[in-house]
Amino acid sequence: MLLTSHSVFETPAASRIYRSLKPEIESQVTERSSVDMKVQNSTLFLEIRSDDLVAMRSTLNTWLRLIQVASETADCLV
């Protein structure tokens, strides 16, 4: 079963968050899930694909936390 999650984040720091997390996308850790991220204007799009529910949950938790930390860091820089 293939699972897919789409998340959309509207923030003025979208491009800064994308640039800070881009190296993480280029080095995928597991073959059980994949991550794609793109930015358009002030919107960050995150797509996670996974073969099983456990991998989906783990990957989703990881990436939501990474985006949260990057967002908090970007807010400190403004």
The architecture that CATH gives domain 3-77 is: 2-Layer Sandwich (3.30)
In whole angstroms, how far apart are CA 32 and each of 41, 51, 59?
A: 31, 6, 9
φ, ψ for residue 63 (rounded to 5)? Answer: -70, -35
23: pLDDT strictly greater than 80:
yes
Question: Is 0.85 topped by the overall pTM?
Answer: yes
Residue range 18-46: average pLDDT?
Answer: 91
Rounded distance between C-alpha atoms, residue 30 and residue 3, angstroms: 15
Confidence of residue 76 (pLDDT cuts 50, 70, 90): confident
